[in-house]
Amino acid sequence: MEYTGVLVGLGNPGPRYDGTRHNCGFALVSALLELTEKEGTLSTLNGGKFSCELWRLRLPQLGGTWLAAMPQTFMNLSGQCVQPLLAWHKLKPEQLVVAHDELDIPAGELRFKRGGGNAGHNGLKSITQLLGTPDFYRLRLGIGRPPHKGDVINWVLGRPDADDAGKLRASLPLALDTLFAFAGKGLEAAVRMARKADAPKAPKIAVKAVKANILK
């Protein structure tokens, strides 16, 4: 089957990491799956050979058939999922959107871009190394930086407080709109849509997850 694109949400597998900042990518995939169950067509695929949980989906907003994946490697081995997944389905890096947590963006804000550096994100580093290129798309989900320098590991592997968790949940519908803008109109439309999350009062729309690994 020919696919239009693939969304890979980054995170760490297992209940220990459910709801942590580092699992924002999983949260976005979960939100997309829930929406697809209501408004589109969703099929669960066997992602074992790619070390991931994998779905095929059709949704009017995406304008075609997409794959969605949650790697079941740990974060710093994400490329071991993404590279074979793309190769097997004959997808190019420019058809890949990676959703991931971003320290350099305040909690609840979003950015969308193509290529660039990894900013110390081990998941992006692994994907870039194994694909041999940084030229894939990134949907960056802001988590903000820890109040004390040097506490980054505990920060990303920790769970946000109630205020930040609310901001992150509220950003998920707009993150989906950003993905849909990219699918329908391309990079610049997605960049503009993501910036809308910078408004002082982002809409507090709760998105349920079809899986447990969503921000709580």
Reported as type and span, the H/E element at residue 210 is none
- State the pairing for strand pair 64-71/41-45: unpaired
Reported as type and span, the H/E element at residue 77 is none
Cβ-count burial 71-92 (b if 16+ within 10 Å, e if not)? bbbbbebbbbbbbebbeeeebe
Beta partners for residue 101, in sequence order: 141
How far, in Å, CA of 139 to CA of 141, rounded? 6
Catalytic residue selected from 22, 100, 121, 148: 22
User: Which of these, 204, 74, 77, 200, lies nearest to 130 by C-alpha position?
Assistant: 77
CB 136 within 8 A of CB 97: yes
Please give the order of strands across the beta sheet that includes 137-142.
41-45, 52-59, 64-71, 5-9, 96-102, 137-142, 110-114
CB 142 within 8 A of CB 108: yes
| 22 in catalytic set | yes
Scan for tokens 């890949």, then name that residue.
96
The residues assigned a catalytic role are 22
